[in-house]
């Protein structure tokens, strides 16, 4: 009436170690490439933001005849000067 289950239902230690080694190798190969692409995208984002700021400053100069002074800071690019239309 009482049945015993066979003991070979699980994985052996060797099989588990092989799987862990394979996962470690995959992580070692994929991880550095992933971080390299992340760094590359951050550089691209920074360059595009600097380019947008440069264009905004140039547009300010075209609209107002001069670059914003140091006292205004970046606020000069966001708000219109007192004499502007």
Asked, for residue 60, whether it belongs to a domain, the answer is yes
Torsion angle in degrees (nearest 10) through CA of 58, 70, 82, 64: -30
Helices (H), the chain: 13-64, 75-78
Asked, for residue 66, whether it belongs to a domain, the answer is yes
Nearest 5°: phi and psi at 34? -65, -45
Q: What is the span of the domain harbouring residue 44?
A: 37-79
Asked, for residue 31, whether it belongs to a domain, the answer is no
* The residue to which tokens 């595009």 are assigned: 48
Asked, for residue 22, whether it belongs to a domain, the answer is no
Strongest mean pLDDT among 2-6, 47-51, 58-62: 47-51
Asked, for residue 71, whether it belongs to a domain, the answer is yes
Dist CA 61 CA 74 (whole Å): 13
Tokens of 77: 């690019």
Q: What is the pLDDT of residue 61?
A: 87
**What is this structure's pTM?**
0.53
Asked, for residue 20, whether it belongs to a domain, the answer is no
Domain count, the chain: 1
Q: What is the pLDDT of residue 69?
A: 78
């Amino acid at each position: 009436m009482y049945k015993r289950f066979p003991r070979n239902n699980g994985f052996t230690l060797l099989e588990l170690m092989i799987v862990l080694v394979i996962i470690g190798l995959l992580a070692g190969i994929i991880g550095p490439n992933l971080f390299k692409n992340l760094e590359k995208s951050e550089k691209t984002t920074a360059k595009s933001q600097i380019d947008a700021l440069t264009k905004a400053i140039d547009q300010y100069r075209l609209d107002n005849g001069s670059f914003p002074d140091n006292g205004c800071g970046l606020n000069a690019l966001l708000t219109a000067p007192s004499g502007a239309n």
